[in-house]
């Protein structure tokens, strides 16, 4: 009989509930250096450690952010970084009541003998890294694996995605980090919403099977699903009400009520779409806290407003606060466009 380590159980449950609190969600600001560089280049900035720090400092020092944001996911560089005034980035977050989080996967590589699909690296040495991240102040983690509908998805890709997530979740919990479990079903493709539902049901069934096998404690995890929507190139679009109905149907079928929070990714939806869809999902009570963990749908306007210019710094922070508040309202089902 295998007995799981229970040292961190109470803390894991407390952390998960702190993140999944009414009217709050997660700011995903964990872009890899390459992806962050693309965002910075789009406003004419060079991709240096210094410009990444300036941008992340703008985000974490936004006054009042903690009212709407309960957790922030960082890339490793940011977790150990200090602001221009020498303060730890993590400290900027914790003093606003925001829980620091860390992206722990090592990215996607091709999966042999699949339909051009990928698998997610990062299990080697993960326990040691998680221990270091906990010491540095992180209290939750994220691992993003992807599922592509147009590429299949093949059974080996689904299985590998689910198994990797389950192994990661067990390792993170044993180190005191609440795992965010993210099998991102990509928006790309012409599939209709029913095909998306079928694939989402398949990946979540596999993920929960392997999480159970790996003795993951469901009260101490958070999920980061994509919403159930038609593909980006589908002929027929869906209203927020339809997206909400499909997504909630999928979640009710697959996710036990023991799970405290569902924190959606925005996945390429516009800022407004992401807010409207979330609002539609919160029109009646759900078994879990249903909220957001957006990157692009919280940051697009910030970057556009900032343009890398000191004179726009305050306005950019205000635009972050405005998006955060809109999604906070949507978490409460009270967003008014």
Residue selected from 58, 149, 262, 295 as contacting ligand 13P according to rule CB under 6 A: 295
Instruction: Return the sign of the alpha-carbon dihedral for residues 292, 92, 317, 105.
Output: negative
Measured CA angle at 34 (ends 19, 40), to 5 deg: 85
- Give the pair of three-digit tokens for residue 34: 């390459």
Output 8 or 289, the one with its CB closest to ligand 13P. 289
Q: Does 122 bind ligand 13P (CB under 6 A)?
A: no
Tell me if the bond preceding 153 is cis, omega within 30° of 0: yes
Taking CB under 6 A as the binding criterion, the range among 125-133, 207-215, 259-267, 317-325 that sits at the site for ligand 13P is 259-267
- According to DSSP, residue 82 is labeled B
Q: Which region holds residue 260: left if phi is over 0, alpha if psi is between -120 and 50, else beta?
A: alpha
Taking CB under 6 A as the binding criterion, the range among 188-196, 244-252, 278-286, 289-297 that sits at the site for ligand 13P is 289-297
Angstrom CA distances, 206 to 89, 106, 161, stand at 36, 22, 9
Taking CB under 6 A as the binding criterion, the range among 51-59, 91-99, 157-165, 263-271 that sits at the site for ligand 13P is 263-271
- According to DSSP, residue 244 is labeled H
Q: Does 186 bind ligand 13P (CB under 6 A)?
A: no
Q: Shortest Cβ distance from residue 215 to ligand 13P (Å)? A: 25
- Give the pair of three-digit tokens for residue 223: 């999920």
Instruction: Return the sign of the alpha-carbon dihedral for residues 303, 93, 33, 292.
Output: negative
Residue selected from 102, 267, 305, 321 as contacting ligand 13P according to rule CB under 6 A: 267
Q: Shortest Cβ distance from residue 138 to ligand 13P (Å)? A: 15
Q: Does 320 bind ligand 13P (CB under 6 A)?
A: no
Output 164 or 267, the one with its CB closest to ligand 13P. 267
The footprint of ligand 13P on residues 18-57 (CB under 6 A) is: 28
Cβ atoms of 182 and 203 within 8 Å: the answer is: no
Q: Helix 296-306 vs helix 271-281: angle between axes, to the nearest 10 degrees?
A: 150
Whether 82 is catalytic is no
Angstrom CA distances, 327 to 10, 159, 203, 232, stand at 29, 33, 27, 22
Q: Does 296 bind ligand 13P (CB under 6 A)?
A: yes
Write down the catalytic residue from 57, 182, 206, 271: 182
Helices first, then strands: H and E counts in the chain: 12, 10
- According to DSSP, residue 165 is labeled H
Q: Shortest Cβ distance from residue 29 to ligand 13P (Å)? A: 9
Taking CB under 6 A as the binding criterion, the range among 160-168, 278-286, 292-300, 319-327 that sits at the site for ligand 13P is 292-300
Q: Shortest Cβ distance from residue 123 to ligand 13P (Å)? A: 18
Write down the catalytic residue from 224, 237, 325, 334: 224
Q: Helix 155-174 vs helix 126-135: angle between axes, to the nearest 10 degrees?
A: 40
Q: Shortest Cβ distance from residue 28 to ligand 13P (Å)? A: 4
d(CA 121, CA 161): 10
Q: Shortest Cβ distance from residue 7 to ligand 13P (Å)? A: 28
Q: Does 144 bind ligand 13P (CB under 6 A)?
A: yes
Residue 22's φ and ψ, nearest 5 degrees, are: -50, 130
Residue selected from 265, 278, 321, 330 as contacting ligand 13P according to rule CB under 6 A: 265
Q: Shortest Cβ distance from residue 265 to ligand 13P (Å)? A: 4
d(CA 254, CA 2): 26
Residue selected from 297, 324, 326, 330 as contacting ligand 13P according to rule CB under 6 A: 297
Residue selected from 266, 275, 279, 319 as contacting ligand 13P according to rule CB under 6 A: 266
Whether 182 is catalytic is yes
Residues forming the active site: 182, 224
Q: Which residue ranges make up the site for ligand 13P (CB under 6 A)? A: 28, 144, 182, 265-267, 294-297
């Amino acid at each position: 009989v295998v007995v799981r380590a229970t040292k961190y159980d109470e803390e894991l449950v407390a952390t998960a509930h702190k993140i999944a609190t009414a009217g709050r969600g997660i700011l995903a600001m964990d872009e890899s250096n390459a992806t962050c560089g693309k965002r910075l280049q789009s406003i004419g900035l060079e991709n240096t450690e210094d410009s990444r720090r300036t941008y992340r400092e703008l985000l974490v020092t936004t006054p009042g952010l903690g009212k709407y944001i309960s957790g922030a996911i960082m890339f490793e560089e940011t977790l150990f970084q200090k602001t221009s005034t020498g303060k730890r980035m993590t400290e900027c977050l914790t003093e606003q009541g925001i829980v620091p989080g860390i992206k722990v996967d090592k990215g996607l590589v091709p999966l042999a003998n699949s339909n051009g699909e990928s698998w997610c690296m990062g299990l080697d040495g993960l326990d040691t890294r998680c221990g270091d991240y906990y010491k540095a102040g992180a209290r939750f983690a994220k691992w993003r694996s992807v599922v592509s509908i147009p590429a299949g998805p093949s059974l080996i890709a689904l299985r590998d995605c689910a198994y990797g997530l389950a192994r990661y979740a067990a390792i993170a919990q044993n180190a005191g980090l609440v795992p965010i479990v993210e099998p991102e079903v990509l928006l790309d493709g012409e599939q209709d919403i029913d095909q998306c539902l079928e694939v989402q049901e398949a990946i979540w069934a596999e993920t929960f099977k392997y999480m159970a096998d790996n003795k993951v404690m469901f009260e101490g995890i958070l999920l980061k699903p994509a919403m159930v929507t038609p593909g980006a190139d589908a002929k027929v679009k869906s209203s927020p009400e339809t997206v909400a109905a499909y997504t909630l149907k999928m979640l009710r079928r697959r996710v036990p009520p023991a799970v405290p929070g569902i924190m959606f990714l925005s996945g390429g939806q516009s800022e407004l779409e992401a807010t409207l869809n979330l609002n539609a999902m919160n029109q009646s009570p759900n078994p879990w806290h249903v909220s957001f963990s957006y990157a692009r749908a919280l940051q697009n306007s910030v970057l556009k407003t900032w343009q890398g210019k000191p004179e726009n710094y305050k306005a950019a922070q205000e635009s972050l606060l405005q998006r955060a508040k809109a999604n906070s309202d949507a978490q409460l089902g009270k967003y008014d466009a």
